[in-house]
Amino acid sequence: MLKKLIIGLSAASFALSIHSGIAMADKADSSLTWATTREIPAAIPYYENVREMTIIGMNVWDGLLYRNPKTFEYEPLLAESYKWADNKTLEFKIRKGVKFHDGTNLGPDDVVATYNHVAAEDSGVLTRRNVSWIDHAEKVNDDTVLVHLKETFPSALEFVATVLPILPASIWDTAKVGAQGKPDYATIKPIGSGPYKITGFTPGVSVVMEKFADYWKGSPKGSPTIKKVTYRTVSDPEAQIAEVLSGSVDLIWDVSREKAEQIDQASLAKVVSSATMRINYINMDRAGRTGKGKENPFFDKRVRQAVAHAINRDLIAKELVGGASAKIHSACFPTQFGCTEDVIKYEFNPEKAKKMLADAGYPNGFTTDIYAYRDRPVTEAVMGYLAEVGIKTNLKYMQYKAFRENVWNDTAGFHEGTWGSYSVNDVSASTSAFFKGGRDDYCQDDEIKSWLETGDTSVDPAARKAAYKKALSKIASEACWLPMFAYSRYYVFNKDLDFTPAPDGFAEFYATKWK
């Protein structure tokens, strides 16, 4: 069989080299096509937080600072320089000579307008955590902007450098009125000042970016070699692989381990396994948002802990996800500042899980829904382990947007999610996004909230770490979350593409070239 397979695939490769009209076309006209299974319903930062949009955001918009993907240090971008004026005020000197994609000049007014708009309570920004630390911004003179913080927030610069792109001041007025009679900011024109500009967008289907000729010189992002980058949604993983093999798509990622290994063995494309900052977790309803009685078994701590013991996270990480993926114990990504694995650890022990369930009043287990939106095999493996201790699950698998809504409207109490923290390397972007109250918080514990608040706002790093450790310990002992594993991801791409996956998970197309 193997011999037949190799012969078949070699014939395919040979045919590929003859029929590779399309592949040559992409390289010849210096364009690149990448695809994932996800849909991008709106191509606007702040109002669409699916990861693919965040990546496009990094390519199409600039923020005030740039975080170097190798050193994680901050470099000047739209701000020529910055300093802390005091503990709660940041001062930025804005670069001159920067143009937006529509030809207008970028100035302090645009910075101020952006920050003030997103920081407003009713701005409708999807991830409030990213902007909730901003009080307001003000223009001091023609090249200086002050950003006032609500509290001391030492990781502010992380956010400035990764999740705060600058939009033109007038852009917010181009929003169409939505069904509720209010402006729907997801409909504004996607104008930025980054190395690429968006020249085409079909919701849920594709996004087209083209090189922006007037991108300012001297940017740490450099100048793009590839002229046109097209994102396409290809929701069928097999179709993705077929398209990479036939050349109509140049780059895909999140390829499952067994497929990536087969492709690598047969040398059909370049396969790279790279760490990401994404973690996978299972959220359980401790807060009683879906009920406090038999309809919500997870209200009982013993049930949550039983779930923690029932799932073999090591095997899932090693066998299903593969690469460098490993089990985690804390509700944060291991390299993030403030993250610690020194918390209570739940080892894989199905017998103990069954006993705990019996103690909690479920000797024969129970049935529940489980919601998920990506990496379905992982969820199914989880379902298999839960079934073995008596917890029967009905899978509700859906696109991210629908999943998000169900989590936020108290329907999806038991769900498996993932979080990339926008690649911000600080616990304030992960733990604090989920446990400080708010729509994603199914734990709702006042102690945890206050420790996280302390951690977020203390200036002294040691004090921050101590506070975060207390919060993380309680999260673990209460088993609000079951942190599952840190992702390692397989990239599969055209062999002629010179593409290096960044450890922070951002695909920097402006730094990608054809060989």
Partner 1 sequence: MLIYALKRLGVALLVFVSISIIGFVLLRASGDPAIALAGEGASQQDVEYVRQHYGFNRPIYIQYVDWAKRALTGDLGDSIYLRQPVSQVIAERAPTTLLLGALSLCFALILAIPMGVLAALYPNSYIDRTALTIAVVGQALPTFFFSLLLIVIFGVWLHWLPIAGNSSWKNFIMPSIALGYYATPAIMRLTRAGMIEVLSSDYIRTARAKGLRRSTVLFKHALRNAVIPVVSLAAVQLGFMLGGSVIIESIFSLNGLGNLAWQTIRRSDFEVMQAVVLTIASFYILLTYLADLLNAFLDPRIRTS
Partner 2 sequence: MVSIPPKTTNTDFVPASPMSQKLSRVLNHKSITIGGGILIVMILMAILAPFIAPHDPFSQNLTKRFLDPVWYPKGTWEHPLGTDSFGRDYLSRMIFGARASLLIGFSAMLISGLIGTTLGVLAGYFGGRVDMVITFIITTRLAIPVILVALVVVALAGNSLSIVIWVLGFLIWDRFAVVMRSATQQIRALDYVTAAQAIGCSTLRIIFSEILPNITNALIVIATLEVAHAILLEAALSFLGLGVQPPTPSWGLMVSEGKGMMFFKAWVIAIPGIALFLLVLSINLLGDGIRDVTAPENRN
| Residue 129 contacts residue 150 (beta carbons within 8 Å) | no
| Smallest distance from partner 2 to CB 3, Å | 10
> Does the footprint of partner 2 cover residue 258 (CB under 8 A)?
yes
According to DSSP, residue 186 is labeled G
Rounded Cα distance between 410 and 402, Å, is 13
Q: Of residues 41, 69, 334, 503, which one binds partner 1 by CB under 8 A? A: 41
Stretch that binds partner 1, among 35-43, 73-81, 83-91, 445-453 (CB under 8 A): 35-43
> Does the footprint of partner 2 cover residue 259 (CB under 8 A)?
yes
Closest CA to 197 of 52, 26, 57, 34: 57
Stretch that binds partner 1, among 140-148, 233-241, 257-265, 283-291 (CB under 8 A): 233-241
Question: Which residue carries 């996270």 as its tokens?
Answer: 313
| Residue 313 contacts residue 327 (beta carbons within 8 Å) | yes
Q: Contact letters (x/-) for partner 1, 349-388, by CB under 8 A?
A: ----------------------------------------
Residues 424-483 that bind partner 1 (CB under 8 A): 439
How many residues of this chain bind partner 2 (CB under 8 A)?
27
Q: Would you state the torsion angle of the CA atoms of residues 44, 45, 48, 54, taken in this order, to the nearest 10 degrees?
A: 120
> Does the footprint of partner 1 cover residue 404 (CB under 8 A)?
yes
Q: Of residues 115, 373, 385, 419, which one binds partner 2 by CB under 8 A? A: 385
Closest CA to 59 of 233, 190, 150: 190
Rounded Cα distance between 471 and 184, Å, is 36
5 vs 463, which CB is nearer to partner 2?
Answer: 5
Token readout for 189 is 């024109």
| Residue 247 contacts residue 132 (beta carbons within 8 Å) | no
201 vs 397, which CB is nearer to partner 2?
Answer: 397
DSSP string, 162-185: HT-----GGGGGGPEE-TTSSEEG
Q: Contact letters (x/-) for partner 2, 389-408, by CB under 8 A?
A: -----xx-x-----------
Q: Of residues 315, 342, 367, 461, which one binds partner 2 by CB under 8 A? A: 315
| Residue 66 contacts residue 236 (beta carbons within 8 Å) | no
> Does the footprint of partner 1 cover residue 187 (CB under 8 A)?
yes
Residues 344-383 that bind partner 2 (CB under 8 A): 377, 380-381, 383
Q: Give the three-state DSSP class for 149.
A: strand
Stretch that binds partner 2, among 26-34, 49-57, 236-244, 435-443 (CB under 8 A): 236-244
Rounded Cα distance between 421 and 408, Å, is 18
Residues 35-54 that bind partner 2 (CB under 8 A): none
| Smallest distance from partner 1 to CB 402, Å | 6
Rounded Cα distance between 474 and 36, Å, is 36
Task: List contacts with partner 2 (CB under 8 A).
Answer: 1-2, 5, 237-238, 241-242, 256, 258-259, 262, 312, 315-316, 319-320, 377, 380-381, 383-385, 387-388, 394-395, 397
